[in-house]
Amino acid sequence: MSLPFPDDFAFGVATSAYQIEGAVDVDGRCPSVWDHFCTVPGAVRDGHDGSIACDHYGRLAEDVDLIAGLGVDAYRFSTAWPRIVTAPGHIEERGLAFYDRLVDALLERGVAPWLTLFHWDLPLWLHHRGGWLDRSIADHFAEYTEAVVGRLGDRVKHWITFNEPQCVFGLGHVRGVHAPGLRLDMATVSRAIHHGLLAHGRAVSVIRDRVPDAKVGWAPVAFVDYPVRPEARGVAAAATFRLPQGDEWPFNNTWFTDPVGLGQYPEGADPNLWRGLPAGWERDLETIGAPLDLWGLNIYRGRPVDVGPDGELVLVSRVPGHGETLMGWSVDPECLYWGPRFFCERYGKPVAITENGLASMDWVHHDGTIPDLGRVDYLVRHLHALRRAIADGAEVLGYFQWSLMDNFEWELGYAKRFGLVHVDFETLERTPKESYARYAALCHSRGATLPEDVAPLR
């Protein structure tokens, strides 16, 4: 018989504001850095933008019905900062009213809202004032948090402050392939990262003050190195929290997660990272390291590792033809077994898988169906691994499939489809895929329909 998930485990689905809402010039919303970035020639594939996206802003009731139809316990969404704080000191009532309607619609259907405050759509006016390079952004984020919490805190009990800081800074401030499109040196980006972590901490404080029974967390990307043999467990855990290094330095866990989880930056990191920290950074660590109730982990892939002859880390080559998603990301279900275990052990907090999913090759077939069997298999494999992690002691609060529907996939425009629901981006018609029905069955059965054993992926 299949091992059950805990009774209070939350099966969920996730989206983000800029990727689905559209309505970028409606009801007082101000431009975001992504609105501007999409106007830069060549920045986004085929010149796409998020001005319409899925028109979730205009199709709220239809989309909430799709969420409820899955039988999920929870829905993770983000509020759009530029829809709420549209100018210095100005709170836009119409923006807050939209999220009022969304939260009420979810609760009426028995779905718990998990609200993310920042999913990359920084107001453009704030970027022009220095953005993440200016310390005052922490004050602005606190003001924004105060507005959202003041309006929704009586009904929303799960709060995520910041989504994927590694991508915000690594892709947006180092590589320049995401908004705001900057290519800055390591020391300068280190200062921006510190201000981002400080903003997170300030938001935690606001939520604690206003919603005493809130469950508060954040959602970094979790890069997971996993052992191919039990003997390699220790080296895999160490590698998962390796120090920033080389050109990939922004895409690590430790420089971002240790200040939040341990109240300190990791020793031994590149001197330029230390040099870039702003004056008085030590005094901010108490705020940055404010205790959390949960850690959101966005996990999409991992790397297999082993112990070399001298005890060193060895990356293990995958077999030729190993499964990949249309993003070119390897399919590594073991990352959902080891990732939660490693993060629970290092930071001592329960985790939730706040994002996990894939871009798959799917379209509406001639008979009107969308048999996205690759996504179905991905779901089964990853949830099976997660269930094993729970059985072996990891405290996991929930799983949020990315994503509810096909959406604007940042610099890739509308070329990659992550959704359980297909969106025709000309007509905006929604069509549930086969994965939608299969995930709904998993949710309704509380995971009991998962197979007991799953053959290794080759």
Question: How many CA atoms within 13 Å lie on the side-chain side of 424?
Answer: 10
Q: Are strands 158-163 and 85-87 parallel, antiparallel or unpaired?
A: unpaired
Q: Which candidate in 92, 146, 164, 334 is catalytic?
A: 164
Residue 164 a catalytic site member:
yes
Contact 198, 135 (CB under 8 A): yes
Cα 150 from Cα 232, distance rounded (Å):
48
Angle, helices 373-391/434-444, rounded to nearest 10 degrees: 30
Marked catalytic residue, from 334, 355, 409, 411: 355
Greatest Cα pair distance, the chain, in angstroms, is 63
Q: Which residues are known catalytic residues?
A: 164, 355
